C-alpha cells in the first residue's frame, strides 16, 4: 500500500520531469501537473524566456490547457503539484480558480505566495482559501534551480561571471522548517502520513533550539 507521502510524491515526480524539460529549454526549471480524480489532466513548464513574457509561469500553461476542454469550475476538484512554491501572482490565480489543494517541492523565498513572502492562499480576500503543502521532493526541486543558475553563469560573458566559489554546484541543504507552513501535528499527519511525523517533529525541535539560543545569548550577556 502506498503511503500518503508516496502518493503525492508520485505526482511530484511528473512535475519534476516538466521542470527538467524547462531546464533543457533554458528556462528557470519549474514544472507542474494538475490532477483530477487521481489522473494528470494537464502539465506545465515555465516559458518566460521563450515567450518574452514574465507571466508565463508553469501554472498558467497548465491552466490554459485545461480550459481548452473544460469549464473553469473543474478546478474545485483539481489538485496542483508544482516543484516550486507558486509565486504571488500564481497563488492569486489559483485562489480565483478555487483550486482544491496545492502541493509543492521547495519554498520560493523571493516571490512565494503560499507562505514564504505572502500568504495569498489563506489571507483575507473574496475567494475561498486553499491549503498549500511544501516538502515533496524539495531537494530535487532546489537542485534543478541550482543547475540552472550555474548554467546561466557558464553562458554569461567572462566579465559577468561570478567567482569560482559561487559557480560551484552546491549539494548541501538547509533543514526545512515545516512549522512555518503546516500549523499542527494533526494536519501534518493528515497530509504526509504518520510515518513522516518525525520530519515535523525535527522542525519543531529545531525551532525550539533557535529560541533556546536566544535565551542563552541573553544569559551569557549578563
Partner 1 sequence: MSEFVHKLKSNPRNNVIDDSFWQIKYQDDHRGLELIPLLTTTIPANKSGVVVKLIKDHVDEDAHDLGHLRRIAKEADLIKEGQVEGETADSTEKKPASEVFLRVIIASKDTEVDFETIKAGITAILSYEPPFHTDYASKYLPFTKQESVEWSRNAWPIMWRGNTAAIQTKLSDSELSEMKQKLNEVIALSKANSGTKELPVATLIVDPKTGEVLSRKLDTRHKQGNPLNHCTMEAIAEIASQELARRQERGTSKQEREREGKQETIDGEEDDRLYLCLEMHVYTTHEPCPMCAMALNHSRVGRLVYVESSPGSGGIEPNSGGSHGIHWNPQLNWKYEVWKWVGDDLGVEKVDESVNA
Given the rule CB under 5 A, which residues bind Zn ion? 57, 87, 89-90
d(CA 55, CA 32): 15
Site for partner 1 contains 49 (CB under 8 A): yes
Judge contact between 168 and 149, C-beta under 8 A. no
Q: Which stretch binds partner 1 (CB under 8 A): 14-22, 60-68, 176-184, 188-196?
A: 60-68
What is the nearest approach in angstroms of partner 1 to the Cβ of residue 125? 5
Q: Which stretch binds partner 1 (CB under 8 A): 16-24, 110-118, 136-144, 163-171?
A: 110-118
Site for partner 1 contains 24 (CB under 8 A): no
What is the nearest approach in angstroms of Zn ion to the Cβ of residue 23? 17
- Reference 58, options 90, 84, 31; nearest CA is 31
Whichever of 52 and 172 has its CB closer to partner 1, that residue is: 52
Take residue 40 and report the three cell numbers written for it.
494528470
**Counting beta carbons within 10 angstroms of the beta carbon of residue 147, is it exposed (0 to 12), middle (13 to 18) or buried (19 or more)?**
middle
- In which residue are the cell numbers 521542470 written? 19
Q: Which stretch binds partner 1 (CB under 8 A): 34-42, 64-72, 174-182, 199-207?
A: 64-72
DSSP conformational letter for 156? S
The contacts of residue 99 (CB under 8 Å, 6+ apart) are 75, 76, 78, 79, 80, 130
Which listed option, partner 1, Zn ion, none, makes contact with residue 55 (CB within 5 to 8 Å by class)?
Answer: partner 1
- Given CA atoms 195, 199, 204, 205 in this order, what sign does their dihedral have? positive
DSSP conformational letter for 222? -
d(CA 207, CA 213): 10
215 included as an active-site residue: no
Site for partner 1 contains 197 (CB under 8 A): no
Residue among 71, 158, 163, 171 that touches partner 1 (CB under 8 A): 71
Among residues 59, 85, 139, 159, the one annotated as catalytic is 59
Site for partner 1 contains 52 (CB under 8 A): yes
* Residues at the interface with partner 1 (CB under 8 A): 48-55, 60, 63-64, 67, 71-72, 87-93, 96-97, 110-111, 113, 117-120, 123-127, 155, 157, 214, 217-218, 221-222
**Residues identified as active-site:** 59
Amino acid at each position: 500500500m502506498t503511503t500518503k507521502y508516496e502518493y503525492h510524491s508520485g505526482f511530484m515526480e511528473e512535475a519534476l520531469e516538466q521542470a527538467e524539460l524547462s531546464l533543457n529549454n533554458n528556462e528557470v526549471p519549474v514544472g507542474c501537473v494538475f490532477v483530477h480524480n487521481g489522473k494528470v489532466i494537464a502539465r506545465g513548464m515555465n516559458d518566460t524566456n521563450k515567450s518574452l513574457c514574465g507571466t508565463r509561469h508553469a501554472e498558467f500553461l497548465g491552466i490554459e490547457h485545461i480550459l481548452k476542454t473544460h469549464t473553469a469550475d473543474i478546478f474545485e476538484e483539481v489538485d496542483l503539484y508544482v516543484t516550486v512554491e507558486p509565486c504571488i501572482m500564481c497563488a492569486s490565480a489559483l485562489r480565483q480558480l478555487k483550486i482544491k489543494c496545492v502541493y509543492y517541492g521547495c519554498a520560493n523565498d523571493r516571490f512565494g505566495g503560499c507562505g514564504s513572502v505572502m500568504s495569498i492562499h489563506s489571507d483575507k480576500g473574496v475567494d475561498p482559501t486553499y491549503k498549500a503543502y511544501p516538502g515533496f521532493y524539495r531537494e530535487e526541486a532546489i537542485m534543478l534551480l541550482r543547475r540552472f543558475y550555474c548554467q546561466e553563469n557558464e553562458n554569461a560573458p567572462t566579465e559577468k561571471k561570478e567567482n569560482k566559489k559561487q559557480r560551484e554546484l552546491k549539494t548541501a541543504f538547509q533543514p526545512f522548517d515545516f512549522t512555518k507552513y503546516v500549523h499542527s501535528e494533526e494536519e501534518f499527519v493528515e497530509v504526509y502520513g504518520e510515518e513522516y511525523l518525525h520530519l515535523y517533529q525535527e522542525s519543531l525541535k529545531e525551532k525550539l533550539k533557535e529560541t533556546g539560543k536566544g535565551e542563552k545569548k541573553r544569559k551569557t550577556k549578563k
